[in-house]
Amino acid sequence: MKSKSLDFRQIEWWVVTMAFLSIFLFNLFGFRPDSYISSSFQIFQFVARLIIPVVLYLSFHLVHMVLIPKYQLTKKPVPIVIYTVLITGASLFTSAIFGYQAELISSPFPTFYLGVVGIYASYLISSFVLEQALTPPKLKDFQVYNLVRLGFIYLFTILFLIQILPVSNNGPLITLGIIVPGLFFLGIYQYYLVYQNQLNGKTKSSRWFKWGLLGLILFGFFAASIDNNQEMVAVVGVGFVAFLALILQPLTSLIFKKYDSFVGKISVLTNQVDQGNASFDFLRSQINPHFLFNALNTLYASALIENADKTSDGIQKLGDMMRFMLHENQLPSIPLSREIDYLRNYLDLQMLRFGSQANLEVDIQINESQCIGEIAPMLIIPFVENAFKHGISAKEKSWIRLNLRCMAGSVHLDLVNSVHPEKPTSEKSREESGIGLENVKKRLELLYPNQHQLNIIANDSDFFVHLSVQLTHS
């Protein structure tokens, strides 16, 4: 629902198909003539009520499911326009002949047909506007767009049912406009106010909502019975409330239990798959440390022989980082002190590289006095890598400020760096940060649900990250 747009062409086809099917069935059984006493005109009128919806539906199917997709594929408008005009003309002629001859409309021109075409055209225009206004990058995901467009589909379906009343009856409109929304509302009400309260142990609240709704419905029927002076309305109300209490509500509760059980199993399997994929991406994103580790030993020995103290120190720190990547990085959790050691080595190497840069201000504050506990490896360093990757410019003033501390059994990272969106081409070839921030977000959601807080704020000059993670104890 969030990550991509729904397949609205299929949804639209199914909704319109159900609408036309309801029109056809209501016409078939609602206007069916008596074969013994009906005149030939009544039979013709009955046939016209069946033919006109079928013709309209076939026209919709050809235009919506054949011609429009073909135009989107070929981008050749002329043949599509010609076919659309031919289909529209044929369906208009058929609707006019049968509608007027069957006295379903008062004039030779079927104005209801013009209304139907106008509603369809309005929906296409509205869909295009919604797609331009509510999809990424205008919004961060597709959730709002999907919900709003589903609402538009329902709204235009109701308008269509109103427009086609001259050749139908109120049945489809009542069904889709009142009964279906009513059942939808009852389902939402039952799930969130009755079932969820009962599931959470709030039995009293659940009963209040359950019997309160039934009492309100019964009161409505009794009020209608008194207002119209018809006892049968009250009897129908009692029967309807009994149906809700004895059949519908227990049935929906059973369905909700099965649904929750199914969703729970899917959620567990999805988390397992996502965690496996995240681990796979995490491993795949790393460089192979084995050959580098061997090479580093050779370089370290050479640097000592040449009395290159800075070089040997840097190689030693890089070697420690490679040992971390090779061994502890594969564990589900490590002592936070080891993660901080890795972070310090990384910072020392970066300062060896950028420390002499005059326009760079780096402020590092790490207080690990209360950092007792364990954490999943490589959760902190990607944010620091990102800061060095995007926060340093060779020409413009740059800054990186890092504050790491532990409080109340959790580790807190505050990190802010300068932003340089328009870097010169020569600076765009910096090394990639180990794993992407999106991957880290996914790992945090999988490994620390409701046990972490991640806030990222970006503007034209600063990129700010606040991360807090609850530590575990072995």
The residues that bridge with 416 in the sheet, in sequence order, are: 401, 464
pLDDT, position 425: 46
Q: How many residues does the chain have?
A: 474
pLDDT, position 276: 65
pLDDT, position 331: 82
Residues 95-113: pLDDT tens digits?
Answer: 999 999 999 988 888 899 9
CB 99 within 8 A of CB 45: no
State which H helix or E strand residue 463 sits in.
strand 462-470
Residues 359-402: pLDDT tens digits?
Answer: 889 999 999 888 889 999 888 988 998 898 888 887 889 999 99
Residues 269-281: pLDDT tens digits?
Answer: 777 676 666 665 5
Residues 209-266: pLDDT tens digits?
Answer: 989 988 998 898 888 888 878 788 888 888 888 988 888 888 888 888 888 888 777 7
What the chain holds in terms of domains, given with CATH numbers, is 1-168 (no CATH), 327-470 (3.30.565.10)
pLDDT, position 302: 64
Residue 410 region, left (φ>0) first, then alpha (ψ -120 to 50), else beta?
A: beta
State which H helix or E strand residue 324 sits in.
helix 309-326
pLDDT, position 354: 82
Give the pLDDT band of residue 2 (cuts 50, 70, 90). low
pLDDT, position 26: 92
Look up residue 36 and give its two tokens: 């013994």
pTM of the complete model: 0.55
Residue 378 region, left (φ>0) first, then alpha (ψ -120 to 50), else beta?
A: left
Residues 57-75: pLDDT tens digits?
Answer: 999 999 999 999 999 888 8
Between the two ends of the chain, the Cα-to-Cα distance in Å is 39
- The mean pLDDT of 163-168, rounded to a whole number, is 91
DSSP 8-state code for residue 457: E
- Of 432, 430, 418, the residue nearest 464 (C-alpha): 418
Instruction: State yes or no: cis peptide before 250, omega within 30 of 0.
Output: no
Task: Tell me, rounded to whole angstroms, the distance of Cα 255 from its chain centroid.
Answer: 24
Residues 104-157: pLDDT tens digits?
Answer: 988 888 899 999 999 999 999 999 999 999 988 888 888 899 999 999 999 999
